[in-house]
């Protein structure tokens, strides 16, 4: 049985004490001087109306598991918070997250990926992440929650706030990659799960998968713009360098260098390789 009194108390504490500067979706509003988020900000980040969120925080209705997962991912909450939110909000323990098979990654290859100064990760045939380095977790915190690349980029509300020119520069080419792969492999079980979840979760993404005519095979050397966690309103340009291992060409090694966009005087800043 749920305990909405404890749920709302915990939710309010999380909202008012979190560091808004780490949330890329709020980057365009500039650097924050006080901790916490407003109810409107958290509603926008989790894809609900302000009135819906106000009712939730006042205990007038219960959260869905999907909304809890969105909150956990967006605010980078730990497993303890996730467990408590599920138990108090739904009366059930949280489900196990999907874990892809990582046996194809050789230990030496994994070590090589982890020491890269840029964001680097390996995804599989269905865009589940198998291994990533520390910089990837700093640049893209949602990766720490075992989130599928396509599901995050095409359906999650914070992706629309973080990824600049979301539909044209990000969603259309990514949906094209997914559509082409799915059409060529209609019987792949995990790929079917990813496509079906995207279509069920988001109307715009469903339209892009079913009706858009963009044709992009892979993202190698594509350059796009985004905000990154912890960098306020700074705009970054990211370049996707894509490599495929000879031993298993269903995998992709992605290396994603990031640079601050030059200021109004045309000056470049130091690459974000910290």
Query: CATH number for the domain including 212?
Result: 3.30.450.180
Residue pair 49/20 in contact (Cβ under 8 Å)? The answer is no
The reported pLDDT for the residue numbered 145 is 83
- CA nearest to 127, candidates 23, 240, 225: 240
Three-state DSSP at 95 gives: coil
Based on the fold, state whether residues 201 and 122 are members of the same structural domain.
yes
Based on the fold, state whether residues 187 and 129 are members of the same structural domain.
yes
Based on the fold, state whether residues 84 and 111 are members of the same structural domain.
no
The reported pLDDT for the residue numbered 263 is 58
Q: Is the pTM of this model over 0.85?
A: no
Based on the fold, state whether residues 150 and 69 are members of the same structural domain.
no
- On whether residue 132 sits in a domain, the answer given is yes
The reported pLDDT for the residue numbered 272 is 46
User: CATH number of the domain that 10 lies in?
Assistant: 1.10.260.40
Based on the fold, state whether residues 10 and 85 are members of the same structural domain.
yes
| Ranges of residues in the chain whose predicted pLDDT is under 70 | 1, 25-33, 263-274
Q: What is the pLDDT of residues 43-86, one digit of tens each?
A: 988 888 999 999 999 999 999 998 998 899 888 899 999 999 99
User: HEC string of 22-87?
Assistant: HCHHHHHHCCCCCCCCCHHHHHHHCCCCHHHHHHHHCCCCCCCHHHHHHHHHHCCCCHHHHHHHHH
**Domain's final residue, options 47, 64, 90:** 90
User: Which range marks the domain in which residue 81 is found?
Assistant: 4-90
| Phi, psi (rounded to 5 degrees) for 256 | -125, 85
The reported pLDDT for the residue numbered 274 is 39
User: What is the tally of structural domains in the chain?
Assistant: 2
Q: Is the dihedral angle over the CA atoms 184, 189, 190, 195 positive or is it negative? A: positive
- On whether residue 173 sits in a domain, the answer given is yes
User: Which residue has tokens 């990837």?
Assistant: 136
The reported pLDDT for the residue numbered 25 is 61
């Amino acid at each position: 049985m749920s305990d909405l009194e404890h749920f709302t108390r915990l939710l309010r504490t999380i909202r008012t004490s979190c560091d808004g500067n780490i949330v890329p979706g709020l980057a365009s509003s500039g650097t924050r001087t006080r901790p916490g988020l407003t109810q409107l900000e958290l509603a926008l980040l989790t894809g609900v109306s302000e009135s819906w969120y106000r009712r939730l925080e006042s205990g007038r209705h219960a959260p869905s598991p999907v909304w809890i997962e969105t909150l956990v991912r967006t605010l980078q909450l730990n497993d303890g918070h996730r467990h408590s939110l599920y138990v108090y909000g739904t009366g059930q323990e949280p489900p196990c997250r999907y874990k892809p098979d990582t046996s194809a990654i050789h230990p030496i290859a994994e070590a090589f990926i982890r020491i890269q100064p840029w964001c680097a990760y390996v995804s599989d045939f269905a865009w589940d992440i198998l291994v990533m380095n520390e910089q990837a977790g700093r640049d893209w915190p949602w990766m720490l929650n075992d989130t599928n690349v396509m599901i995050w980029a095409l359906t999650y509300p914070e992706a629309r706030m973080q990824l600049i020119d979301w539909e044209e520069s990000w969603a259309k080419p990514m949906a094209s990659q997914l559509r082409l792969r799915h059409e060529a492999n209609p019987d792949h079980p995990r790929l079917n799960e990813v496509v079906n979840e995207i279509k069920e979760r988001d109307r715009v993404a469903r339209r892009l998968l079913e009706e858009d005519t963009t044709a992009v095979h892979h993202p190698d050397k594509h350059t796009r713009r985004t905000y990154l966690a912890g960098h306020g309103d700074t705009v970054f340009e990211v370049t996707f360098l894509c490599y495929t291992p000879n031993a298993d060409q269903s995998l992709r090694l992605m290396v994603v260098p990031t640079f601050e966009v030059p200021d109004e005087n045309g000056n470049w800043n130091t690459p974000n390789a910290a």
